[in-house]
Amino acid sequence: PELQFPERLNCATELLDRHVADGRGDRVVIRAPGGLVWTYAQLQDQANRIAQVLVQDMGLVSGNRVLLRAPNNPMLAACWFGVIKAGGIAVATMPLLRAKELKAIIDKGQVTHALCDAALAEELALARPEVPVLRAVRHFNDAGPDGLEAAMARHSGRFDNVDTAADDCCIFAFTSGTTGVPKATMHFHRDVMATCACFPRHILRPQPDDVFIGSPPLAFTFGLGGLLLFPMTVGASTVLLDKAGPPQLLDGIKEFGATTLFTAPTSYRTLAARGTELRKTPLRQCVSAGEALPATTRAQWKEVTGIELIDGIGATELLHIFISADEAHSRPGATGRAIPGYRAKVIDESGRECPPGTVGKLAVQGPTGCRYLDDARQAGYVKDGWNLTGDAYLMDADGYFVYQARTDDMIISAGYNIASPEVEEALMAHPAVAECAVIGVPDEERGQIVKAYVVLRPGQAESAAMAQALQDHVKQSIAPYKYPRAVEFRPSLPRTQTGKLQRFKLKDTE
């Protein structure tokens, strides 16, 4: 029943205006470095002005697509709500994208309007001559007479949200491209509310006094949910950092008294080195998603901070996390169970459900799901009403899902199935290893062999002896046939802007 929504629904009304109407307007919603603090009433005022600029000055009509481009900051959040209030579709883009990638998104999404941070104006300006569909652009965090702020000052802080249907689209989200070309997915107003009724309500259970902080960009749905929508479900607050590497996260947690952290496994691994400093802070909940969480990282985080990590698998196609476990129910090595509202199963090649303990393809069904802009791709992701995320998993007898690999990252060597992340985890437990990536490379005799790309910690020497030591270490920690027969040292590894390893790029170089 909690996932039934009225026919008319605007998620900005529910997540933002509701708090002001119910007397919570004076509560803080956003803080940012430099001392900026906005209450719910102030965010509403800003978003209402932006909605009017969009509709009255920029000619936006319901259903138009608005490109948003900024590092995480308060104006980006205000613009997101402004677009939603005006009945538009928010197309948030990763800050590091170049003109060519912006052009592809604008073309694919038929984006007509853009609100862009003045600091990131350049690449959009370069793309503009090639995208005539984009007819109106305004820049924010811009004090000039043509800036968005000057236009906002000419409007009132009052706006009646456009009366959207629960099934009207409000987000185009682009996937991070772990397997290459980014794909665009659509989400409706009710999907936003459904996501807020799942992971936050059943797993995180935030309190109004919680302070959220983290690294994922709001352009990545992991960040949009974790750093904007979820705190707003209970009138809590968020800290938006324009730079959110481990040092900034650490400083931010201390400065703002953050209680709830959202970041990726690699970031937890780096932060753990200074994790004891976090014991003196109010930090109490830490969410990891985006990539598999190695059991060693979970154990290390618990040891240095005393906090049990909350792992969760989410996907752009499903908007947010659908399998997870809270601190009390977490199991090392397992992502968790299907969050109430979702169903998940593991299926074999013919689509039949696998018995517990057997590796197969993850299939998910629930209140959110994949809607690609591109129909041809849709049939590949959604089969018989189940979303196929492209992950290999097994489910144990208690309904816990144990991650194996992306299905494209399962290596078949001499008839053995070997999951890249398992070999990576074994390697990362070696003290000389900072980062690594494991792929299968073609081999005449074995079909494929396991190859490891390794980034060593500072001060460690790249040598044949080191390679041998790493191979021996893997043979001793997991089944020996999984050890990397080839080891190559690298100064760094290719990652997406959401921080995910791009194993396909390494495969391409082979």
Binding mask 219-248 for ligand 3UK (x = CB under 6 A): --xx--------------------------
Name the pairing type of β-strands 169-174 and 260-263: unpaired
Asked if 312 touches ligand 3UK (CB under 6 A), the answer is yes
Identify the residue among 44, 73, 176, 387 touching ligand 3UK (CB under 6 A). 176
Identify the residue among 260, 297, 365, 389 touching ligand 3UK (CB under 6 A). 389
Quote the least distance from Cβ 288 to ligand 3UK, whole Å: 6
Quote the least distance from Cβ 339 to ligand 3UK, whole Å: 12
Binding mask 205-224 for ligand 3UK (x = CB under 6 A): ----------------xx--
Asked if 95 touches ligand 3UK (CB under 6 A), the answer is no
99: region left, alpha or beta (phi > 0 left; psi from -120 to 50 alpha): alpha
DSSP state of 325: -
Distance (Å, whole) CA 365 – CA 207 = 28
Exposure b/e, 260-281, CB count within 10 A at least 16 = b = bbbbbbbbbbbbbeebeebeeb
User: In the complex with ligand 3UK, which residue's Cβ is closer, 25 or 226?
Assistant: 226
User: In the complex with ligand 3UK, which residue's Cβ is closer, 340 or 447?
Assistant: 340
Amino acid type, 145: P
Which of 230, 349, 210, 353 has its CA nearest to residue 289?
A: 230
Binding mask 479-508 for ligand 3UK (x = CB under 6 A): -------------------x----------
Quote the least distance from Cβ 449 to ligand 3UK, whole Å: 23
* Spatial contact of 116 and 139, defined as CB atoms under 8 Å apart: yes
Q: How many CB atoms lie within 10 A of CB 40?
A: 24
Quote the least distance from Cβ 293 to ligand 3UK, whole Å: 6
Distance (Å, whole) CA 131 – CA 125 = 10
Identify the residue among 198, 309, 313, 439 touching ligand 3UK (CB under 6 A). 313
Token representation of residue 258: 């953050």
Distance (Å, whole) CA 86 – CA 168 = 12
Quote the least distance from Cβ 215 to ligand 3UK, whole Å: 12
**DSSP class per residue in 93-129:** E-TT--HHHHHHHHHHHT--EEEEEGGGHHHHHHHGG
Token representation of residue 48: 């209402």
Whose tokens are 């000055």? That residue is: 57
Choose the binding region for ligand 3UK from 110-118, 125-133, 351-359, 387-395 (rule: CB under 6 A): 387-395
Choose the binding region for ligand 3UK from 68-76, 139-147, 237-245, 288-296 (rule: CB under 6 A): 288-296
User: In the complex with ligand 3UK, which residue's Cβ is closer, 237 or 502?
Assistant: 502
Quote the least distance from Cβ 218 to ligand 3UK, whole Å: 12
Total interface residues for ligand 3UK by CB under 6 A: 24
Quote the least distance from Cβ 99 to ligand 3UK, whole Å: 23
Quote the least distance from Cβ 304 to ligand 3UK, whole Å: 21
User: In the complex with ligand 3UK, which residue's Cβ is closer, 109 or 314?
Assistant: 314
Asked if 13 touches ligand 3UK (CB under 6 A), the answer is no
Distance (Å, whole) CA 455 – CA 4 = 49
Cβ neighbours for 303, distance < 8 A, ≥ 6 positions apart: none
* Spatial contact of 489 and 468, defined as CB atoms under 8 Å apart: no
CA distance to 169, 353, 361, 381, 395, per residue, from 388 (Å): 22, 13, 7, 5, 15
Phi, psi of 395, deg, nearest 5: -110, 135
Asked if 175 touches ligand 3UK (CB under 6 A), the answer is yes
Asked if 336 touches ligand 3UK (CB under 6 A), the answer is no
- Residue closest to ligand 3UK, measured at CB: 314
Binding mask 400-419 for ligand 3UK (x = CB under 6 A): ---x--x-------------
Which residues contact ligand 3UK (rule: CB under 6 A)?
175-176, 221-222, 289-293, 311-316, 320-321, 335, 389-391, 403, 406, 498
